Amino acid sequence: MLFNLRTLLNKAALRNGHNFVVRNFRCGQPLQNKVQLKGRDLLTLKDFTGEEIKYMLWLSADLKLRIKQKGEYLPLLQGKSLGMIFEKRSTRTRLSTETGFALLGGHPCFLTTQDIHLGVNESLTDTARVLSSMTDAVLARVYKQSDLDILAKEASIPIINGLSDLYHPIQILADYLTLQEHYGSLKGLTLSWIGDGNNILHSIMMSAAKFGMHLQAATPKGYEPDPSVTKLAEQYAKENGTKMSLTHDPLEAARGGNVLITDTWISMGQEEEKKKRLQAFQGYQVTMKTAKVAASDWTFLHCLPRKPEEVDDEVFYSPRSLVFPEAENRKWTIM
């Protein structure tokens, strides 16, 4: 749900017409005439153009500047309510959504599996219609992407994907805002993914090329990204003149990369696979050895929570690590 905001004056030269540096608060002009997002679902970044995603990031940066830096009070969601369905627990998604929605004057309503059983005690269709009559939008963190698709089809209000088995779009928006703050522009960056072919990687694959970013991803055999996602990502790369490569060699994926990215190897619901996964991911820990083959300006991202086997302390707590600004930016992008 987007609202018209005052245009932030741009006093600095831009490296890219629609990109900005939040660190110095250099902002491009908003694309309000071209972009219409009000009332739309956010199920996957596949459904959005590069200009539309850039506008989301511009708006996130504007809110961060005006609220955090300038201390403005912007009750843009006063009188609005948000249904929050959480089949999976989350620190950052819950905190960022509840505090962000409240900061904008709205009322978030948290619903756990004890409050709502999607498709069990009540059909997804009936749930969607009830929520549509009582709230203004729904953020759902679920196990199955198909449940989100049904909610979106049956609801008359926007449905936002807070995480599913296939995509995690709100996390990637926070990642991109963080990288724009650090590098000044996303165009030309090489993202090096080292880990599972999961929902985070899928969301990167659905959006990176739209910003002119290259992607090098390494996953263990048997843990590659979804073939249908890969096919579409290859199409995006071709259309945007970027490079995308998939490999099983972590060092190959890291070579020349500006951003080293990994994620948990064992997501919620995969606990029974722990032993098998730990064995399959041997050699995938991100260390300074990994960083040695990366670009000289390398940084590190991890959406958290982090386990030491995924990335060692030397990288995770290094000055190159952007994980905590990345976590904070979950709030500004979800807002």
**Which residue numbers are catalytic?**
303
Q: What secondary structure, in 3-state letters, does the chain show? A: CCCCCCCCCCCCCCCCCCCCECCCCECCCCCCCCCCCCCCCECCHHHCCHHHHHHHHHHHHHHHHHHHHCCCCCCCCCCCEEEEEECCCCHHHHHHHHHHHHHCCCEEEEEECCCCCECCCECHHHHHHHHHHHCCEEEEECCCHHHHHHHHHHCCCCEEEEECCCCCHHHHHHHHHHHHHHHCCCCCCEEEEECCCCHHHHHHHCCHHHHCCEEEEECCCCCCCCHHHHHHHHHHHHHHCCCEEEECCHHHHHCCCCEEEECCCCCCCCHHHHHHHHHHCCCCCECHHHHHCCCCCCEEEECCCCCCCCECHHHHCCCCECHHHHHHHHHHHHC
Burial class for 279, CB neighbours closer than 10 Å (0-12, 13-18, 19+): exposed
Strand order in the sheet with 159-163: 107-112, 81-86, 137-141, 159-163
What separation in angstroms does the CA of 240 have from each of 17, 212, 235?
Answer: 17, 6, 9
CB 148 within 8 A of CB 43: yes
